[in-house]
Amino acid sequence: MLVYFFTMLSPQLMRVLAMNPFETWYNHMFWQPFTYMFVHGGMSHILFNMLVLFVFGQYLERALGSTEFLVLYLGVGLLAGIFSMFFYLATETYLVYLVGASGAIYGTVFVFAVLNPRAMLYIMGVIPVSARVLVLLYTAVDLFSHFGGRGNTAHMTHLAGFAFAALYCWLRLRMNPIKRLLE
């Protein structure tokens, strides 16, 4: 939240901390794949991310421990940022500024779903859905949205968050995440 308020006071700080693939790679601003997670596009953006982090993060922090949860959250967010940088460079999409913790947030939701595939969650407080179905729905929506060219959202960063969280489950938790979600 503190970084959000500082970027509101200094828009130039937003350009330094948000991730722009061209700036990161060609102007050697290599901190951006990490710092983009702490910059947000608006109050609703940061509040939604923090709400999801509160709901799923507190469970994972208890299940994994504080240090391991921090490794998961920051590691997945960083790797999703690096992937996004190379993705945007490869597609010659230079005029984007990636902001928000969504890669890390999606990774958090993914690991929660792997550990609790049958946990019932309530979308908007009323629509029941299992954690595994939620991950599959988010994956489908992000795939369709990305290839449909909809919105100003980094859908590939979300999907990278899922992918690197799956790798985390495989390497750190010694679990097959796909098998856990589909069984």
- Residue 6 sits in a domain whose CATH number is 1.20.1540
Give the separation between CA 108 and CA 73, rounded to whole angstroms.
Answer: 7
Question: What is the Cα gyration radius of the chain?
Answer: 16
pLDDT at 149: 66
At residue 48's C-alpha, the angle toward residues 82 and 95, to 5°, is 40
Within 8 A by CB and 6+ apart from 69, the residues are 57, 60, 61
Q: Give the CA distances from residue 165 to residues 55, 73, 152, in Å, rounded to whole numbers and listed in that order.
A: 17, 9, 23
Ramachandran quadrant class, 35 (left: phi over 0; alpha: psi -120 to 50; beta: rest): alpha
Render each residue's pLDDT in the chain as its tens digit; 183 residues: 677 677 777 878 888 999 999 999 999 999 999 999 999 888 888 999 999 999 999 999 999 999 999 999 999 999 999 999 999 999 998 889 999 999 999 999 999 999 999 999 988 889 999 999 988 888 888 777 777 765 667 879 999 999 999 999 999 999 999 999 888
Give the separation between CA 109 and CA 114, rounded to whole angstroms.
Answer: 9
Residues spanned by the domain of 61: 2-182
For the chain, how many structural domains are there in total? 1
pTM for the model: 0.90
* Residue (of 169, 174, 183) closest to 130 by Cα position: 183
pLDDT at 71: 97
Q: Give the CA distances from residue 179 to residues 56, 94, 114, 115, 158, in Å, rounded to whole numbers and listed in that order.
A: 21, 37, 9, 11, 21
pLDDT at 66: 97
